[in-house]
Amino acid sequence: MASWKNYLTQRCPEYLKKYVNLGRSSLMRTEMPSVSLLQKSPSSPVSCHATGFYPDRAAMFWTRDGEQLHHDVDHGEILPNHDGSFQMSVALNVSSFPAEHWGKYRCVFQLSGVKEDHVIVLDRAVIRSNRGKTASHGSTVTNSQQTLTTCLSVSPLKHGSQGRDTENGSRRAQHDTRRRKGPSGASDLMPS
């Protein structure tokens, strides 16, 4: 009985502290996502899709002129990826407003513990789709392939003086394109 008490009060806490300290870097890590705009057809909602983030404590939403939208928005679940990271999406019904107003809309991704947001402006030129069209970097995507060779990475933007908005109330996203490979080594497919 005395040895069991010694184990519970002395050795067990020592082991717990040791293993928590060894795993701290893994437990406390953060990985920012790759964020893309996706649309199946011109009449479909535009989905803002974030993948590759960690941990799973994240929020993603659409804004118009800096105000979070609650109507015409469909929030998806946070789902696990095969590599231990996570993905999520939020769709915006764009059929309810004219295309010339698209520039007022932003998709915002926030990761717990990270002070910077990922923000992407709603812009037809950067939307990936299954339709035959030229992707934003100039390569053609055909319906028969239904593969997309670009993945937009959005540079994080720092908070401004108005909470999560910049001083003038707007945000601009910077994009870089790169090929993303799936677990099989093939380019990722557009969700159907």
Model confidence pLDDT, tens digit, residues 173-182: 333 333 333 4
Between 69 and 187, the more confident residue is 69
- Tell me yes or no: is domain 34-126+155-171 CATH 2.60.40.10: yes
The 3-state secondary structure of 71-110 reads CCEEECCCEECCCCCEEEEEEECHHHCCHHHHHHEEEEEE
Which pLDDT score, from 0 to 100, does residue 11 have? 85
pLDDT of residue 131: 73
Among the listed residues 49, 35, 23, the one whose alpha carbon sits nearest the alpha carbon of residue 176: 35
- For the chain, the average pLDDT equals 74
How confident is the model at residue 175, as a pLDDT?
Answer: 34
Please say if the pLDDT value at position 48 is more than 50. Answer: yes
What integer pLDDT is reported at residue 132 of this predicted model?
A: 55
Residue 51 CB neighbours (<10 A): 18
pLDDT of 25-34, one tens digit each? 777 789 999 9
The more confidently predicted of residues 81 and 162 is: 81
Report in angstroms the alpha-carbon separations of 87 from 65, 82, 84, 156: 26, 10, 10, 17
Q: Beta partners for 79?
A: 87
In tens, the pLDDT along 8-26 reads: 888 888 888 888 887 777 7
Per residue in 115-141, pLDDT (tens digit) is 999 999 999 999 999 875 433 333 323
Q: Determine the Cα–Cα distance for residues 148 and 142; give it in Å rounded to an integer.
A: 9
Q: What pLDDT score was predicted for residue 190?
A: 39
Domain boundaries, the chain: 1-29, 34-126+155-171
- pLDDT of 144-158, one tens digit each? 222 222 333 333 333
CA angle in degrees (0–180, nearest 5) for 55-59-61:
150
The pLDDT score that the predictor gives to residue 176 is 34
| pLDDT for res 5 | 83
Q: Which residue has the higher pLDDT, 94 or 7?
A: 94
